[in-house]
Amino acid sequence: MNVRPADSAAPTQVISEAVTLSEAAGSSGGSNDLPAAAPLTWAAAAYARREIGSKTATVSASATSSAVGFFPVGPLGLFGNGTEEHPDGGLIWGNGFSWDGTTCTVAACDGGNAGLFGNGGNGYNGGDGGAAGWFGNGGDGGAGNLIFRDGGDGGQGGLFIGNGGAGGVGVDADPSETAGQGGDGGAGGNVGQLSLLGFGGNGGNGGNGAVGIDGADGEPAAIISTDGTDGLDGGIGGNGGAGGNGSFLWGSGGNGGDGGNGGAGGDGGNG
């Protein structure tokens, strides 16, 4: 799944993609330079540009830099790898764009989807991995951080051949956040629905919980003294992500992630 642009930029991207598809497939009543490519182009669009679940927070591409990469998508949108500005690969061939700390600095970023041939891009900051098309592996989900705690889900493998992406690791609770909860691991990606060969992605591990707050000390008194109070429970560890489904013919499902450790309880107060 793509990293969706900001609301103000959404109409521009929709129009741009629509024009690109029309140019590639040929519009009715106009000239068609690639008549043989039209059926394959629309078939590619129907599968490779599917949506696969979303995060509540995603970000647009950085306004200050643009990752061109190798073999960027051409003007017809049929071949080439995704970029920061256009994360999806070409409709027929191309890898989805993978985010990192230099290109995804604000929120959760979902890896770009691949074309019919190609691998999905990796998510970042808890973003989901991109999906493959017909032949290729799904991208890995991004590890969670202190803002987006849960790891991203792995991307779906190719419809016919390919592995699901691994789920991202949930973040450990902030040590300064008393009894904070660890983030959940992302689910491993499934293989394609008609997969002949493919392994499901492993689920991500859950994050560890934070230490509980210490109990208060007791107060001495002239006649009766008071006892110290109990320490509070530590934070709950995050759940491990589920493993993805493997191929019905040749492959296996992914392993589920380990749950995070709960935080130690706080010390009791002195009497």
Rounded Cα–Cα distance for residues 95 and 139 (Å): 10
Distance (Å) of CA 237 to CA 60, 166, 168, 181, 202: 31, 20, 15, 6, 19
Structure tokens at 226: 């008071």
Enter the pTM of the model: 0.68
The reported pLDDT for the residue numbered 9 is: 37
The reported pLDDT for the residue numbered 35 is: 46
Structure tokens at 42: 């629309």
CB-based contact 169:204 (threshold 8 Å): yes
The reported pLDDT for the residue numbered 260 is: 76
Rounded Cα–Cα distance for residues 211 and 134 (Å): 46
The reported pLDDT for the residue numbered 175 is: 80
Rounded Cα–Cα distance for residues 81 and 101 (Å): 19
Q: Nearest CA to 239 among 259, 255, 257? A: 259
Q: Per-block average pLDDT, block size 10, for the chain (271 residues)?
A: 40 34 40 46 51 42 37 74 94 96 94 97 98 97 94 97 96 80 93 95 89 59 57 72 91 86 59 53
Rounded Cα–Cα distance for residues 180 and 105 (Å): 24
Please compute, for residue 194, the number of CA atoms within 13 A of its CA located in the half-sphere on the CB side. 6
Distance (Å) of CA 103 to CA 61, 66, 82, 85, 229: 7, 8, 13, 10, 48
Rounded Cα–Cα distance for residues 213 and 179 (Å): 7
